[in-house]
Structure 1
C-alpha cells in the first residue's frame, strides 16, 4: 500500500510540475509579443482618434480694463455711425441699449437727437426722442436744448427757438455763445435781421463771452448768404469789444468779398492780413478763384 501511495504522489507532483512549466512558457511567449512590461491581465491601450482640425479664431487682445458701464461705448458708436452717414445703424444701436440692460442716459439721447437733426429730414423723429427722454424722467441739459434750437432754426421756426432761449434760465441752464449764435444765424437766415441784431447786441453786453470759433460760424452764414454789410457790422462790433480774430475769420471774410465781386477790398484785406497773420494756401486759392 505504501508503494502505491508513493507512486500516486509522484504522478500528481509530475502533473503539477508539467502544468507549472506550461504556464511559465505561455507567460514568456506573451511578453515576447506584447512587449516588455505588458501583461495579459492589463487592459488594451485606447486608440485616440484624431479630431478634425478646426481653424482657431484669433484672440483679441484686451486694449484696457473692461469699462464699468457699456454706456460710453454705445454713445461713441452712435456718434461714429452718424458721422459716417449710417443713420439707421445709429438708431439701431440706440434701440439695443434697453435690450442689453443698458438704459440710455442724457448723453445717449443727445447723440441720437443730434444725428437726427443733422440729417435735415428727421426733425419730427428728434422731437419724439425728446418726448421719450422726458417720459423716462431724465432732465434735459444745455446740449439737449442747443440741439432743439438748431432743429427749430432749420425748420423755419427761429422765433420758437428764441422763446426757448429766453426760458433756458428757468430750466436751470445758462445759455452759452453757441446757443445764442445758433438763434442769431436762424433769424438772419429766415429774414429777421432786426431781431438777430438785437439778440447779438444782448449777447455782447451780457456775461456771455463770445469766442472766435463760434463767431466764425455766424460770419460764414452771413457771407454765404451774401449779406456782406451785415457781416461787416458784426465784425466791427466784436473787434470793438476786443475779440481777436484768426486765419479762419480772414479766409471767410475774403471769400465773402470775392463772391460779391469786391476784389479790391479782398486784395487789400490780404495785405492787411499779412501784417498780423500769415496767409495760407486757402487764402490765396480763394483770392485766385475770385479773380
Structure 2
C-alpha cells in the first residue's frame, strides 16, 4: 500500500482485525487496533472500539473482550451498544448468569438497556435451552417471562423479535396451542408478525399433525401481506412426506410454481425428489427434476445422489448411468457409496461393459477431481 501511495482506512483495519481474530490471533488484533489511529485520518472512537468487542465476541473470545473492555473504560465511555455486545458474547458460550450480571452492571452505571439488549439476553436463554423433560421447558419459559416482565417494568415494550424468540421455544417444544395463543397476543398488541414468526408457528403445527390449522394460518399470513418463503412451505412438504400424501404435496408444489418458480429453494426440490422417488412416482420426479434444472438453483450433489440411488433401487441402470455421467460432467464428484452402489448393481445385472465405459469416463474426468478421486479404491465385487 505504501508503494502505491494508498492510505489505509478504518475499513482496512476492520478487515485485518477480523481476519486476525478468526485465526485466533487476538493479541495481534488488539495491537492492530491500537496502531489504527497512527495510520487512518480519523479519531478512533467508541464505534471502532465496539467493532473490536463485537468481533471478539462473535468468534467466542468473550473473556478477552471483557478484559480489554475493563482496561479501556477510561478512554472509551461505555454505552448501551458495548454492553449489549458483551451480553451477546456471554450468551454465545452459554453463560447466562454472566450475561445477566452485565445487564445489572449497565443499570448500576446508569446506562438504560434497550429492547435489543433484552432480546439478546432472551435469545441466549431460549435458543440453546433443553426442553425435555417438561420441567426444563417450564423453567425456560419462566426465565423468558421474567425478562418480559422486567422489560415492561422499565417501560420497554417487547417487539416482534422478542415474541418470535419465545414462539420458537414453543415450536421446539411442540406446544401448538401455546404457540397460537402467543401469536394471537402479538396481534392484539398491534405487533405485526414477520415471515420468520409465522414460519415458527407453521412448523409447530405441521410437526404436531395439525396441517389444516397450518394451512389456515398460511392463508391468514398472505391476507396480512406477509409472503411465505421456501422455509414456510418446506414445513408442509416434510409433513406431507411423513404422511405419504403425494396429492397434497403435488398440489402445493404446482401452486408455488405458478406463483413464483424461484421461491422454491434447492432444499425444497430435494425434499420433493426424495418423497416422490420413494412413492415410485417417476413421472412427477421427472417433472420436478426438469423444473430444478431450469430454475438455476441446482441440481447439486445431494440431488444427483438421491436420484441415482433411487434409480438403482428400481434397477433402472441406464437412467442411473446417464445421470452419473451428467453429474461428473458438471464437476460434481460422486460419493464413494454412489460409486459402489452403481458398480455392484451393474455387475449383478451382467452389465460389465457398461461399467467399463463408465469407468473410462471417470478416468478421463479424474484430473478435475484431483487427489480426492484417487482415494476412492473400489474392491472387486464377487457375485
What TM-score, normalized to structure 2? 0.49
SS state at 1:174 partner = coil
Q: How many residues align?
A: 229
The aligned runs of 1:214-233 (5 Å cut-off) are 214-222=268-276, 226-227=279-280, 229=282, 230-233=284-287
Tell me, yes or no, if structure 1 residue 237 matches structure 2 residue 291: yes
CA offsets, 1:259-280, max 9 Å, x none?
Answer: x454735455333311113225
Distance across 1 between alignment mates of 2:181 and 2:254: 34
CA contact 1:255–1:287 (8 Å) conserved in 2: no
Rounded to whole Å, the distance in 2 between the matches of 1:114 and 1:163 is 19
Residues 104 and 257 of structure 1: CA distance in aligned 2, closer, same or farther (over 3 Å): farther
Deviations 1:61-113 (A, max 9, x none): 26681225232232244223269997455434422212432654322322232
Paired residue for 2:376? none
Q: Is the 8 A contact 1:226 1:256 kept in 2?
A: no
Cα RMSD between the aligned structures?
3.6
Pairwise CA distance, 1:174 = 1.5
Match of 1:118 among 158, 165, 172: 172
2:148 to 79, 95, 98: 98
Partners of 2:118 and 2:151 within 8 A in 1: no
Contact 2:125–2:144 under 8 Å retained in 1: no
CA contact (8 A) 1:117 1:147 kept: yes
User: Who is 1:138 aligned against?
Assistant: 191
Would the alpha carbon gap of residues 201 and 72 (structure 1) be closer, same or farther in structure 2, given more than 3 Å must change? same
2:216 is the counterpart of 1:163: yes
Counterpart Cα distance in 2 of 1:251 and 1:88: 42
1:75 aligns with 2:123: yes
Q: Deviations over 1:151-200 (max 9, x none)?
A: 23223333433333233231121222322333344345435423322321
2:300 equivalent in structure 1: 246
CA separation of 1:233/1:130 partners in 2, compared to 1, >3 Å: closer, same or farther?
same
Q: Which residue of 2 aligns with 1:152?
A: 205
**Residue in 1 aligned with 2:82?**
65
SS at match of 1:167: helix
- Report the Cα offset of residue 141 of structure 1: 1.7
C-alpha displacement of 1:148: 2.3
The 1:182–1:252 alpha-carbon spacing in structure 2 relative to 1, beyond 3 Å, is same
Could you list the runs of 5+ residues in structure 1 that have no partner in the other structure?
Answer: 1-57
Write the deviation string for residues 223-279 of structure 1: whole angstroms up to 9, x where unpaired: 5x5556344432233324554312222233344445x45473545533331111322
Separation (CA, whole Å) in 1 of partners of 2:215 and 2:330: 37
The higher relative CO (CA closer than 8 Å, separation ≥ 6) is in 1
Task: Select which of 312, 318, 328 maps to 1:274.
Answer: 328
Residues 148 and 215 from structure 1, CA distance in 2 versus in 1: closer, same or farther, beyond 3 angstroms? same
Aligned match for 2:230, one of 177, 188, 193:
177
- In structure 2, relative to structure 1, the CA distance for the partners of 1:167 and 1:123 (3 Å cut) is closer
Any unmatched runs of 5+ in structure 2? 1-62, 70-80, 85-113, 345-383
Structure 1 or 2, whichever has the larger Rg, is 1
Give the conservation status (yes or no) of the 8 Å contact 1:212–1:245.
Answer: yes
1:99-129, Cα deviation, whole Å (9 max, x unpaired): 432654322322232233234x432332333
Residues 108 and 232 from structure 1, CA distance in 2 versus in 1: closer, same or farther, beyond 3 angstroms?
farther
Change (3 A) 1:244 1:71: same
User: Runs of at least 4 residues of structure 1 off by over 6 A?
Assistant: 83-86
How far apart are residue 212 of structure 1 and its match? Answer: 1.8
Aligned to 1:41: none
